[in-house]
Amino acid sequence: MTRLSSDDFRALVTAMASAVADNAERLTELDRAIGDGDHGANMQRGFDAVAADLDTLAAKPLPEALKAAGMKLVMTVGGASGPLVGTFFMTLGKELPEEFDRAGFTEAFSKAVAAVAARGKSHQGQKTLLDVLFPMQAALEDGKSVGEIATIAGQAAEATIPILATRGRASFLGERSIGHMDPGAASVALLASVAASMLEQQP
Ligand code: ADP
Ligand code: MG
């Protein structure tokens, strides 16, 4: 059984916010190629807002903290990605018990991915952040290690490059969306690598 302490939650949010800030320019650059060039700024605004609320959030039990962080992201990220990234964390919080084993985490993660797909009216293969979330879910179900899951997430983001976008703003470009990494997919892979490096350090 795992119980993520309030200090672990703090460390995770802080690391995510700083990774998003460090990569904001790269994420925006990706969105400039096939979108409207705001994805890095959107994500940074959201994660900065969550980090600014950390004292209040970390005082809550983990499921409540995740739900509140998700709601904050919905309110602050904006764009198409805000409600999707926010829904992911809100649903994870709703589905995750305070203490969980791998099977429990996998189930909550799957429900969070399904909620994102429902919210976006989207599915895998459309060049969106779901193209990283679904492979991560499969890797969790396959019993892969956290490090392997982060690697799979990075590869899945790379694999969005040759895909034609059929959802989101990039789909307006048609064939011209081919040859660029999806910015939302890049964000999810980034967050996965931050979470993995933190969880790998756990005893
Ligand atoms: P906007 O497109 O409104 O400017 P962002 O730039 O912040 O919002 O986010 C764009 C990202 O959101 C895309 O790269 C894609 O991954 C994701 N996205 C957009 N629409 C959808 C959708 N319907 N389903 C899943 N993901 C989506
Ligand atoms: Mg955008």
What CATH architecture applies to the domain 6-199? Alpha Horseshoe (1.25)
Residues contacting 22, CB < 8 A, separation 6+: none
The H-assigned helical ranges of 4-129 are: 6-34, 39-52, 54-58, 62-77, 81-95, 102-120
Q: What is the CA radius of gyration of the chain?
A: 16
Task: List residues near ligand 1 (CB under 6 A).
Answer: 31, 35-36, 38-39, 42, 79-81, 84, 120-122, 128-130, 167-169, 182-185
Overall average pLDDT of the 54-80 stretch: 97
| Phi/psi at 123 (5° precision) | -140, 180
Please determine, for residue 203, whether its predicted confidence score (pLDDT) is greater than 80: no
- Report the C-alpha gap between 128 and 140 in whole angstroms: 20
- For residue range 134-179, list pLDDT tens digits in order: 999 999 999 999 999 999 999 999 999 999 999 999 999 999 999 9
The conformation of residue 170, written as its DSSP 8-state character, comes to G
Amino acid of residue 135: P
Q: What angle do CA 174, 176, 182 make, to 5 degrees?
A: 90
Domain ranges of the chain: 6-199
DSSP one-letter code for 101: -
| Ion ligand 2: residues, CB < 5 A | 31, 35-36, 38-39
Partners of residue 2 on adjacent β-strands: 100
Query: Candidates 20, 88, 128, 133: which one to mutate for ligand 1, based on the most atoms within 8 Å of Cβ?
Result: 128
The yes-or-no verdict on residue 182 having pLDDT over 70 is yes
